[in-house]
A and B are shown apart, each in its own frame.
Chain A
Amino acid sequence: MEGAPLGPLFALPPSPHYLWIVGLAFAAVAIVVAGIGLVWGRLPFGWGVPGLVLVSGFAYVIGALVVLEESKRVAFCGSCHETMSPLVASLDEDNGSLASKHWRIGAVSHVDACFQCHGGYGIWGTADAKLAGVEHMLHTVTGRYSFPLVARKFDIASCLGCHAEAAPFRAQEAHHDAELQQALLSGSLGCVGTCHAEAHPAKALVGARAEATGAR
């Protein structure tokens, strides 16, 4: 996934956040206090039950914030091996898909490319993306998903957020058609699969196992 390093001139500045360390510290305190409570049958250091509940609960709130933030990363999406890893791997391939094109020319961030396109636009786009993430987790737990994967909903504002003001986009004659614009905005028509290439190659939508079998 990562190319050869080009040197300090082309290295992106690091943007780490240390929230996870705070969460880990609170979790450690909660574990020590609850561990002693488990052995002794009472809480140490004058801790009351509310103190233990507050510290352990606060650690979980931080954990939830970390998940909300870090789940935007491409590496997080790709960590669901069976479903998502072929999609993430296909980004590097020159396969003509829209995702691959955007990825390879650097039109989307290599840190959170999945989120940039699938997250929708604006604050409600982010909220929708998080709800969709919970749905993905439920599908994974219950096994209620099937291949090939199909995006049931895609917010076209993700495309327009970047392209709508671009000169090449505005110069394109087809984009001036009022009916087409209406169809796109109403969601009855999408950019991909009609005028533009598929978002992802078909072989990446069938899951890791099927892809491996097909590759043999």
Chain B
Amino acid sequence: MNLRKYLVLAGVTVFAAAGDSMLSHGMKQTGNISLHHLQGVLLALLNPWVAVGIVLLLAFVVLNMNALSWADLTYVLPATSFGYVLIALIARFVLHEHVSPLRWFGIALISGGVGFVAGGPMLTSHPEQVVPVGAKPATLSSGLES
């Protein structure tokens, strides 16, 4: 696991949390969207919070695909779930919202889950098991590291 891979996982975590938060903030400003008034969607896209949120979520998708190219799905999902904790911490310490003891317990559980999976190997599946017929498995072997 090198610095680049840590940065990619950190990027997945931060961009997902920041994108969701900005999208949520923007959608609260634009109001409800009805199936009968789809022009509301276009108006929502003009909201700067929504626009920046979409850009951040696109960055999340690209980085998530990058991570899945060298790590297991069952490694990437828990390892990047720390974004839920980030959102709760931002809500508590930046937005000064109340975070109940039950939610603090949820934060502790997620942190524990991230810690558990981060200590294990990134990739456990054998490349030849998922490579289609005719493809070169050599491009996959570089991901077999801890």
Does B bind A?
A: no
